[in-house]
Chain A
Amino acid sequence: MSTSTTPVSATPETDAARPTLAEKTTLTLAEKIWRDHLVKKGEDGTPDLLYIDLHLVHEVTSPQAFDGLRLADRPVRRLDLTIATEDHNTPTLAIDKPIADLTSRTQIETLRRNAEEFGVRLHSLGDVEQGIVHVVGPQLGLTMPGITVVCGDSHTSTHGAFGAMAFGIGTSEVEHVLATQTLPLKPFKTMAINVEGTLKPGVTAKDVILAVIAKIGTGGGQGYVLEYRGSAIRQLSMEGRMTICNMSIEAGARAGMVAPDDTTFEYLKGRPHAPSGADWDEAVEYWRTLPTDEGAAFDAEVFLDADELEPFVTWGTNPGQGVSLSQSVPDPEAITDANERAAAERALEYMDLEAGTPMKEIPVDAVFMGSCTNSRIEDLRAFASVIEGRTKAEHVRVMVVPGSARVRLEAEAEGLDKVFLDFGAEWRFAGCSMCLGMNPDQLAPGERCASTSNRNFEGRQGKGGRTHLVSPLVAAATAVRGTLSSPSDLEA
């Protein structure tokens, strides 16, 4: 499906051999943002100290960080650059009732106590701004070009869609940012992912990123920040760009980004926290300087032909194990690398699949439409456009989970809820839900799911559950037919 690749360097050159940003005359988008956030340049092998513009907090990776602050008697340095919401544990039904799972309830109550004690703005369950942290930030207009964003969640890469440098951090780093608003970091290497051409109808951002991951592998982006470039990327909406940047981590890259352009500015303008008046003009002027300079060198480049891409689907237990939907389950025997072959054999056993089975003949028990990858209004519209006027396959359970309370309201204002309910789908409240099954939304052992989420790891959606990653369009067509399908498989 793809054309040429510049090999991803297997042995990274030593840091000492790399020119510093100050020595370079042309810079990439990532390098410009790095340069403009440098509090202190590292010397003699020490990392740079980078300023963080926006820190998003949720209930799962923060309790131990707040505990650390308390023990050291440290305040949150910049409450005005910090915002919290509840998403991973929250129920998607009966949200007005106390959370039934006691440990989930404790974790959420802990966040509420910490937010109160330290003074952090928290959008709790029931608040119109509650939702998946990576949906809430952009929706509020807090995510903008040229900023640094962190969150104790690997899918923070989502925010890179705005031309921001955004990456996931661990709990120790959450504490570090709360205390200092900075992070000590070694510069990332840069990789250009060039996607030129025009996507065929029915082929979406999700298919692009699944194809990218299948091409460079789950470790291909380690140590890099990815910049998605090319005409196919420029044509994408902000929602599509967020879907792509979201899954950068699935290729091993901590961050993925798209240069800001008029699409970005249009999306942002007028949002509650977006700059306004003279600040807006100053911001746009700066943002227009951010795209990678002509002639700037990337450490690695990958090329994909958008015209050749088809709807993509995973067959295995990591997001790199994917094929075009029109293809069959691959044969591990044909894989030369011993580790990859062993992984494929294990994956087929876990997924209960036979090599050679056409992907489109695989029946599913459930369809999950949601997650920080695909739960924005455009995703819900895409899903609704396929199912409208149809009924779901009888045996398939279909769950539609909006990314935020506001997306839910927006969908209802457009009447999408009625389309979902008429189809036989469940229309839920906002949260991470079945993407990782920390709340009651889980697969039963052995159940197979077509999911618009981001990870098909063993047990990710529930112990023993089997996940096929797909786009909202493929999820919708699959919900109609009951086997993995694309909209073109549906009768008119």
Chain B
Amino acid sequence: MEKFETVTGVAMPLKRSNVDTDQIIPAVYLKRVTKTGFEDALFAGWRQDPEFVLNQPQFAGAQILVAGPDFGTGSSREHAVWALRDWGFRVVVSARFADIFRGNSGKQGLLAAEVEESEVERLWALMDAQPGLEVTVDLVARTIVAGTETFAFQVDDYTRWRLIEGLDDIGLTLRDEEAITRFEQTRAAWRPKTIPARSL
């Protein structure tokens, strides 16, 4: 995973609450079997409207999305994170994130930065005053710097560490393979077993 320390880029406002993952990427785009190339699918429904913020030239190349509360609700589709990343976003700022979306983001180098709702409103005001405003998100300092103003954001320590180091989760877990094997040896016989198509 790409290491993440600071990102400086254009911030794009998305003044909607409850942006569910069906809006971030509609189900019809989930039929693909690849992990990249989802930028065409990002906000596919809303993008039909030429006025939609993603279509506005001042936000071209935006890397930081500042959205209303409860971002990423609904379906577990990681494609939502892939689509945001493929478009070029590195950070989503919101007052509240859905749990699965937040988890998926951390696995794919997308920072879900949590701030107060009033701070989202303030960021929107700054972005309205200067469309295309460049903002710096510093994961080491956990700050968002917009013009002369600085906002602190929340992200859990573990996710922050993994993002900064660019670590792969599976590799980390496999360091504990002995503990996994020990646990498996104590697993009760009644616990579920499927019938594999073939043995390992």
B77 A455 Cβ-Cβ under 8 A: no
Are A154 and B100 in contact (CB-based, < 8 A)? yes
Q: Chain B nearest CB: distance from A116 CB in Å?
A: 7
Contact status B22-A459, CB under 8 Å: yes
Given known A-B contacts A45-B158, A72-B170, A119 and B198 have beta carbons under 8 A apart: yes
Minimum distance in angstroms from A289 CB to a CB of chain B: 13
Does A232 sit at the interface, judged by CB under 8 A? Answer: no
B contact residues around A346 at 8 Å (CB): 16
Task: Check B31–A106 contact: CB distance below 8 A.
Answer: yes
- CB pair B180–A51 under 8 Å, yes or no, is yes
Shortest distance from the beta carbon of A81 to any chain B beta carbon, whole Å: 7
In the assembled complex, how far is the CB of residue A94 from the closest CB belonging to chain B, in whole angstroms?
Answer: 19
**B157-A179 in contact (CB<8A):** no
Complex-state Cα separation, A455 to B172, whole angstroms: 36
User: How many Å from the CB of A75 to the closest CB on chain B?
Assistant: 6
A315 to B191, CA, bound (A): 42
By a CB distance below 8 angstroms, the chain B residues around A74 are 170
For chain B, residues 53 to 98, give those with C-beta under 8 angstroms from any C-beta of chain A.
68-70, 73-79, 81, 96-98
User: A127 on the interface (CB 8 Å rule)?
Assistant: no
Q: Chain B residues near A471 (CB, 8 Å)? A: none
CB-based contact A219/B70 at 8 Å:
yes
Of the residues A64, A250, A286, A460, contact of B22 by C-beta under 8 Å: A460
Q: Hey, which chain B residues are within 8 Å of A60, CB to CB?
A: 30-31, 77
- Closest Cβ of chain A to B199, distance in Å, is 7
Instruction: List A contacts of B169 (CB < 8 A).
Output: 172, 176, 184
- With A79-B199, A119-B198, A218-B18 known as contacts, the answer to whether A438 contacts B30 (CB < 8 A) is yes
Note all chain B residues with C-beta closer than 8 A to A121: 194-197
Residue A190 is within 8 A (CB to CB) of chain B in the complex: no
Of the listed stretches B5-13, B101-109, B125-133, B144-152, name the one at the interface; the rest are far from the partner chain. B101-109
CB pair B27–A436 under 8 Å, yes or no, is yes
Residues in B neighbouring A218, C-beta threshold 8 A: 18, 70, 73
Least CB distance, B99 to chain A, in whole angstroms: 5
- Nearest chain B CB to A433's CB is how many angstroms away? 12
Residues of A close to B70: CB separation below 8 A: 218-219, 222, 252
Contact B196 A107 (CB under 8 A): no
> Could you tell me the distance in whole angstroms from the C-beta of B53 to the nearest C-beta in chain A?
14
Check if A348 is an interface residue, CB within 8 A of chain B.
Answer: no
Judged by a CB distance under 8 angstroms, whether A92 is at the interface is no
Contact A172 B108 (CB under 8 A): yes
Q: How far is the CA of A144 from the CA of B189 in the complex (A)?
A: 13
Say whether B180 contacts A39, CB under 8 Å: yes
CB of A298 closer than 8 Å to a CB of B: no
Verify B157–A45 contact, CB threshold 8 A. Answer: yes
- Minimum Cβ distance to chain A for residue B157 (Å): 4
Closest to A56 in B: B194
B31 & A107 in contact (Cβ 8 Å cutoff):
yes
Partner of B156, one of A45, A63, A318: A45
Determine whether the beta carbon of B74 is less than 8 Å from that of A154: yes
Q: Does A172 lie within 8 Å of B107, measured CB to CB?
A: yes
Across the interface, do A455 and B22 meet the contact criterion of CB distance under 8 Å? yes
Least Cβ distance of B66 to chain A in Å? 14
Return the CB mask of B5-48 against A: 1 if under 8 Å, else 0: 00000000001111010110011101111110000000001000
0/1 string, A136-174, CB within 8 A of B gives 1: 000001111001000011100000000000001111110
Contact status A64-B200, CB under 8 Å = no
B107 nearest CB across to chain A (Å): 4
Could you list 16 further interchain pairs (A-B, Cβ under 8 angstroms) beyond the known A119-B196, A180-B177? A39-B176, A64-B78, A79-B196, A79-B197, A115-B197, A144-B191, A152-B76, A218-B18, A252-B98, A252-B99, A275-B190, A339-B117, A438-B31, A455-B75, A459-B45, A463-B45
Pick 8 A–B contacts, CB within 8 A, sort by A: A67-B33, A81-B194, A88-B30, A120-B197, A182-B180, A273-B194, A339-B69, A458-B45
**B-contacting residues of A (Cβ < 8 Å)?**
39-40, 45-47, 49, 51, 53-54, 60-61, 63-64, 67, 72, 74-76, 78-83, 88-89, 101, 103-104, 106-107, 110, 115-116, 119-122, 141-144, 147, 152-154, 168-173, 175-176, 179-182, 184, 186, 218-219, 222-223, 249-250, 252-254, 273, 275, 279-280, 282-283, 286, 318, 339-340, 342-343, 346, 436-438, 455, 457-460, 463
Lowest 8 CB-CB distances: which A-B pairs, in order?
A79-B196, A170-B78, A170-B104, A172-B107, A283-B190, A275-B190, A63-B33, A103-B31
